A = this chain, B = another copy of it.
Amino acid sequence: MRVGIIGATGLVGRTTLRILEERGFPVSELALFASERSTGERIEFKGEEYEVMTVGENWDLLADIFFCSVDDEVARGLLKGYEGDAWVIDKSKVFRMDPNVPLVVPEVNWNAVGESESRIIANPNCTTIPFVMALDAVRKVERPVRIVVTALQSASGAGKAALEELSLQREYLAADQKMPQDAKEVFPQILEANLIPQIGSFDKAGESSEERKLREESRKILGDAELQIHATCVRVPVEVGHSLAVSCVFEEKVDIKAIGDSLASFSGIVLVPDGELITPREVEGKDEVFCARLRYDPQDERVIHMWLAADNLKKGAALNAIQIAEKLTNP
């Protein structure tokens, strides 16, 4: 299988390469693309070096399957009106809500690929993926009438520059030095030793674009346009690993054991035993979505709570895309 990586030098691009290697994905040829700034860089894959190219005309003939992890604007410019034969698994938000493009978490809605004629498959937002997997496991038992979620999202969700900014801020703080103005460019506030209750931009009603994505993408993936999802997204000073505090409200009392069983048997979810924790630091590098602290609300058994954590670069991004590719090549 000829594989192309567009955005090969970014965080998600590099993670994609590492996971392709780890999982032994059958790569017969490899084409690496990035912006002009990175052209000529050399990246190793399975012991061989590959030179990074810019995307030229007829780029889509150079591989059978592309992983695309670039900025929204670049993805739009490259893929709008795409009519090639190669599969493109796109990580941008551009096509996610396009009714003609399937938005896919393989464990949840693989069927969407078969039902579409699109050769672009959209990869969901890094917070949506763990959330929607847990929600799918829950609704196999009972559909919640409301879900309230606080998503605590790590810096790497905002890319390489964000990670560097956090690291620089930490060095200043650890050395007890005043931070210079340029220690804050990616995020609207200092992130180290802080929390920023804004991811993306706010609309007129005060909702952030990240909160809207989490709701709308989840509804599309679950095929449940009316599902009530109330989200608050917060950036936290963690390198890798998104966490979610999730509360589900049901019409009637639910059987929490049945929900626990459904979560535990869901492909890609690990149910952490009662009384044990899972923290974002611990999920870095892991493939699975971890679910801990599953519990009834002590006052009302129509309400359950859980804590989710997943590596946002792996299952939240690159791994999900590769799982899509694995299903495409080996259905």
On chain B, the residues within 8 Å of A247 by CB distance are 148, 230, 232
How far apart sit A305 and B297, CA to CA, in the bound complex (Å)? 20
A274 and B206 form a contact (CB under 8 A): yes
- In the complex, whether A207 has a CB less than 8 A from a CB of chain B is yes
Question: Pick the contact of A197 from B167, B173, B236, B307 — CB < 8 Å?
Answer: B307
Q: Which residue of B lies closest to A175 (CB)?
A: B174
- Among A15-23, A42-50, A275-283, the one that faces the other chain is A275-283
A296 and B238 form a contact (CB under 8 A): no
Given known contacts A197-B292, A238-B195, A281-B194, is B305 in contact with A232 (CB within 8 Å)? yes
A129 nearest CB across to chain B (Å): 19
User: Which one of A194, A212, A236, A295 has the highest number of Cβ atoms from chain B below 10 Å of its Cβ?
Assistant: A194
How far apart sit A243 and B282, CA to CA, in the bound complex (Å)? 24
Which of chain A's residues 192-210 have a Cβ closer than 8 Å to chain B?
193-198, 202, 205-207
- In the complex, whether A86 has a CB less than 8 A from a CB of chain B is no
Question: Pick the contact of A195 from B174, B280, B305 — CB < 8 Å?
Answer: B280
Determine the main DSSP class of A at the interface with B.
mixed
Given known contacts A206-B294, A207-B298, A295-B206, is B277 in contact with A198 (CB within 8 Å)? yes
Question: Pick the contact of A193 from B278, B281, B297 — CB < 8 Å?
Answer: B281
A242 nearest CB across to chain B (Å): 10
Which of chain A's residues 295-320 have a Cβ closer than 8 Å to chain B?
295-300, 303, 305, 307
Question: Pick the contact of A196 from B175, B212, B279 — CB < 8 Å?
Answer: B279
A238 and B193 form a contact (CB under 8 A): yes
A264 nearest CB across to chain B (Å): 16
- In the complex, whether A152 has a CB less than 8 A from a CB of chain B is yes
B303 and A230 form a contact (CB under 8 A): yes
Q: Can you list 6 A-B contacts with CB-CB less than 8 angstroms, sorted by A residue number?
A: A148-B148, A150-B245, A152-B195, A189-B281, A195-B243, A234-B245
Extra pairs beyond A194-B238, A195-B279 (15, CB < 8 Å)? A150-B150, A150-B245, A152-B195, A152-B234, A167-B174, A171-B174, A193-B237, A194-B280, A196-B279, A197-B292, A205-B296, A206-B275, A230-B303, A236-B236, A249-B249
